[in-house]
Homo-oligomer: A and B are copies of this chain.
Amino acid sequence: MKIEEIGEFGLIGKMAAKLPPRSNNVIKGIGDDTAVLRHEQGHSLLMTTDMLVEDVHFSLKYGTYHSAGWKALAVSVSDIAAMGGTPTCAVVALAVPPGGLVGEIEELYAGIGDCSREYGVDIVGGDTVKSTGGLYVNVTLLGTVEPDKVIYRSGAAPGDVIMVTGNLGHSAAGLYALSNSIDSTAGQLAGQVSHSHLYPAARLKEGQALGRSSLATSMNDISDGLASEIVEICEASDTGCELYSDKVPFSETTARVADKAGVDPVEWALYGGEDFELVFTVRPQNVEQVKAVLSQTGCCPAVVGTILPKVKGCSLIKNGSSFALKPRGYNHFRD
């Protein structure tokens, strides 16, 4: 059986089945944004790893070594944010093609360094080896969280309101702008969304504020598109959901680039991925309180759907009709 046939997520279950049972040190192993481990009194340890591959996750044609370095760390910070945690330290493993220049790797590290400064991460070690193909960057990041403040994917319940921390689709818009010629009028537009694509920001303050508040019942970061991430929450929580297409937020800039591309910006928001906003669920009576909590971080969250009983499945409500919600965000081995 080819991996393409079962996809990244089908593969995870098969890999986990080959491992011995976990010890008591592991609070949450495979199957959330990060692992959760027993740590010092009053804190759990979070651990997450992300492999970024040249021409899959980043391009040195559109982007730079600096932006690749930034992104390699930022995507892991986003995972810690999605647990309500605080990142602490990271190790970086690189596989570098033969003939690589010292200045290129210095630029990559300058990007990692700038991102580490932004989010308060210590880079404490790494490994640098020879690649037989392109550049591969693997970051493993640790974080801490109070055990009773962790926000798992699995806590959503029917009736909960689905919210996102901000506009979606800008990363896909940026990728479109970077990989297509855009005329000079649109040049400035392209610059804005391109920056979102190359230098994604993790919603760290927002994830932490939600963690401290104990108001979010589940949370995921949007790395693979809203559709894929909310379906993950529903699967982990044993629920269904409905998303309201007309409530999915996107920026005016994304709308204008989408117009030039001839696509519906909601498509980019649902399936584009790499926006690194947070999707989370709250009890309906707590929505206003959550908005107040997040407004202190400068964030304007949007309500985009409702958690339903599992039997209802996952659907998208668009122009008054209901469609099955396909978790078809970016999926390695399928796209």
Contact = CB atoms under 8 A, between A and B. Distances in A.
B124 A37 contact: yes
Given A102-B1, A124-B35, A131 B133 contact: yes
A246 interface: no
A35 to B, nearest CB: 4
Contacts of A18: 106, 109-110, 112-113
A271 to B, nearest CB: 17
The A interface, classified by DSSP as helix, strand, loop or mixed, is mixed
Interface residues of A, number: 82
A128 B110 CA distance: 26
Contacts of A321: none
A22 B131 contact: no
A133 B134 CA distance: 8
Interface in A1-52: 1-6, 8, 10-12, 14-15, 17-20, 22-23, 25-26, 29-30, 34-35, 37, 39-41, 45, 47-52
How many monomers of this protein are in the complex?
2
B95 A136 contact: yes
Nearest to A96: B3
A267 interface: no
Given A20-B113, A100-B333, A140-B140, 19 more contacts: A1-B102, A3-B100, A12-B128, A15-B106, A18-B112, A19-B113, A26-B89, A29-B122, A35-B125, A40-B40, A47-B91, A49-B127, A50-B93, A51-B136, A55-B132, A56-B131, A130-B332, A130-B333, A133-B134
